[in-house]
Chain A
């Protein structure tokens, strides 16, 4: 961007009619919608589930190895599988999937997609190592120092892999998306929330009482905290939603999201049994998917009334 910031119509301020003419292209959408559909909603969910699970397991294990080591060894292979499925979706969504490796021919920090691709690629290496070493440990070949090293190395690229997605979906010119300043804040926070929730179910399945207790408290607190970026995101999107949906539809979607937030919260507060926790986490994942799906569909839903790009 140039330092010189003189007004666009520099020579004169033309005496144009206040409203402009009603004919022409005024009521037609200016921007073109990228072919990002439901597959991207699933990608955003799986990205959060994979990176969140790895980060939750890694941080918990490094902070309290005695409590979390056993469940972490299960979490890394699960995160690995989730990431593989996610990467598969990303490749399939390309116009020319056989050229997926072209993403790695340059590193461009100005492009969230480039930053994300490199982060995911780098993250996949320590995650693969951590997952493989965890499986080997279960089979009796325990190289704990190597596994811990892989976990530590994976922390930064894992976090970057979680953080880029929201920025990718908000740094563009699409109606609604371009106003979503809190999309990144919500998605990264949500990734950690989902990761802790997945780890909670795994620890309950493994019968890890102490880990389950700690994670149950964590998920309850995170569920409440996650409402903050979610509310800020909704505030960002309110003008776009007002143009796309009737008040009734907005209320119905809001009620569904509120229910899918409050029911898991209530279930976890009421009872720490596996069944309760499992249902709560499934509902939480459903809420996360629904929010991502609604967001991805914004530019596809209907053309906005105004044609101006601003």
Chain B
């Protein structure tokens, strides 16, 4: 029996949250559609029209959870990528060699929710010693070292994708994780445009957006996410965000004491332009080296100003029209 089925067989069945009264009535109206029973054209159309308007009650908030990724202990084994694909039943993307790295995944996509990044920092001096990620790097003496990072959705507390989504498909679930409801998403791509980390992609199959769910299904059943479970070095750690932060800070202090002053946490606390992330990282080089924005910016900080300019542009034109009409009308 596959590991997915084995794990599932030991669990009690979890049920969907209850619906409000209107949704229950509407649900009865399209019962055959919901049950996937054979149906004709009219029930099919009716089902498709009504289904998105069935709203469930929001579950009670639970302890916020997230990932802490310690990149200094990542060995690039890709067990997390494989576990993610296996649990979420995502198809292979094939090998995509970049030509400058052992990275054969290249990027996060609608079918790749985990991506192990390989950063090769090697000098061309043949005598340069091989270093570990924990050695101190400087401008004068470049190191021969590998940096590896398992990348995924950051599950931002104030997530731009969540703010952008017009259908309500993207929700912040009871664990304060960002989750895309695949049966609601209509592929408008607003979330793709909004994400400053390039996490979300629209699938060619179905045309909907997909990304890491932080194994919402597993969490609801009391299991840890597949990637964290598979990680052999504890580079990916899952748990309550507060505990993870405390643990990560201790690790940074420990690294500083061990002579790794460049170690720092990325995304664990909010900045002036971006909220905290529920998936944060311990890094030892600039964020850009890992393909992360140095200073992430939430586009919504500009939105009100943009609306004011937009309205002002229109009102100015209307004022001109009215002035000319009143001046020139007989």
> Do A and B belong to a common assembly?
yes
Complex CA gap A12/B261 in Å reads 8
Complex CA gap A16/B288 in Å reads 12
Complex CA gap A172/B165 in Å reads 12
CB-CB under 8 A for A186 and B196, given A5-B270, A21-B121, A181-B302: no
A24 touches B289 (CB 8 A): yes
Is residue B190 within 8 Å, beta carbon to beta carbon, of the partner chain?
Answer: yes
Is residue B230 within 8 Å, beta carbon to beta carbon, of the partner chain?
Answer: no
Complex CA gap A225/B315 in Å reads 12
Distance (whole angstroms) from the CB of B64 to the closest CB of chain A = 13
A191-232 vs B, CB cutoff 8 Å, 1 = contact: the mask equals: 111001000000000000010011001100110011001000
Is residue B295 within 8 Å, beta carbon to beta carbon, of the partner chain?
Answer: yes
Complex CA gap A5/B307 in Å reads 25
For B202, give its contact among A95, A111, A181, A188 (CB under 8 Å): A95
Q: Which residue in chain B gives the minimum CB-CB distance to A299? A: B193
For B313, give its contact among A103, A113, A174, A189 (CB under 8 Å): A189
Contacts of B29 in A (CB 8 A): none
A20 touches B329 (CB 8 A): no
Stretch from A28-36, A80-88, A242-250 forming part of the interface with B:
A28-36
For A34, give its contact among B160, B192, B330 (CB under 8 Å): B192
Distance (whole angstroms) from the CB of A162 to the closest CB of chain B = 6
Is residue B249 within 8 Å, beta carbon to beta carbon, of the partner chain?
Answer: yes
CB-CB under 8 A for A8 and B269, given A96-B207, A111-B164, A184-B310: yes
Contacts of A5 in B (CB 8 A): 270-272
Contacts of A59 in B (CB 8 A): 318, 321-322, 325
Q: Which residue in chain A gives the minimum CB-CB distance to B151? A: A25
A165-177 vs B, CB cutoff 8 Å, 1 = contact: the mask equals: 0111011111001
Q: Main SS of chain A's interface residues? A: loop
Is residue A187 within 8 Å, beta carbon to beta carbon, of the partner chain?
Answer: yes
CB contacts under 8 Å to A, within B185-244, are 185-190, 192-203, 206-209
B262 touches A14 (CB 8 A): yes
Is residue B252 within 8 Å, beta carbon to beta carbon, of the partner chain?
Answer: yes
CB-CB under 8 A for A11 and B325, given A26-B288, A173-B195: no
CB contacts under 8 Å to B, within A90-115, are 93-103, 105-106, 108, 110-114
Complex CA gap A101/B291 in Å reads 36
Complex CA gap A1/B184 in Å reads 26
Contacts of B142 in A (CB 8 A): 21
B194 touches A172 (CB 8 A): yes
Is residue B299 within 8 Å, beta carbon to beta carbon, of the partner chain?
Answer: yes
Q: How many of A's residues come within 8 Å of B, CB to CB?
A: 103
For A35, give its contact among B137, B202, B262, B269 (CB under 8 Å): B202
A181 touches B268 (CB 8 A): no
Distance (whole angstroms) from the CB of B61 to the closest CB of chain A = 17
Contacts of A308 in B (CB 8 A): 287-288, 293-295
B296-326 vs A, CB cutoff 8 Å, 1 = contact: the mask equals: 1111111101110111111011101110111
Complex CA gap A297/B329 in Å reads 43
B139 touches A19 (CB 8 A): yes
Complex CA gap A193/B321 in Å reads 9
Stretch from B2-10, B12-20, B30-38, B47-55 forming part of the interface with A:
B47-55
Is residue B275 within 8 Å, beta carbon to beta carbon, of the partner chain?
Answer: yes
Between-chain CB contacts (< 8 Å), 22 pairs: A2-B275, A6-B270, A12-B261, A17-B285, A18-B139, A21-B289, A34-B190, A56-B321, A96-B207, A101-B49, A102-B186, A105-B168, A110-B163, A110-B300, A163-B314, A171-B302, A173-B193, A173-B195, A173-B299, A210-B329, A210-B330, A221-B320
**Chain A residues within 8 Å of B, Cβ to Cβ:** 1-2, 4-21, 23-26, 28-36, 55-56, 59-60, 63-64, 66-67, 93-103, 105-106, 108, 110-114, 117, 159, 162-164, 166-168, 170-174, 177-178, 181-189, 191-193, 196, 210, 213-214, 217-218, 221-222, 225-226, 229, 306-310
**Chain B residues within 8 Å of A, Cβ to Cβ:** 48-49, 52-53, 55, 100, 117, 119-122, 136-139, 142, 147, 157-158, 160, 163-169, 184-190, 192-203, 206-209, 249, 252-253, 256, 261-276, 284-303, 305-307, 309-314, 316-318, 320-322, 324-326, 328-330
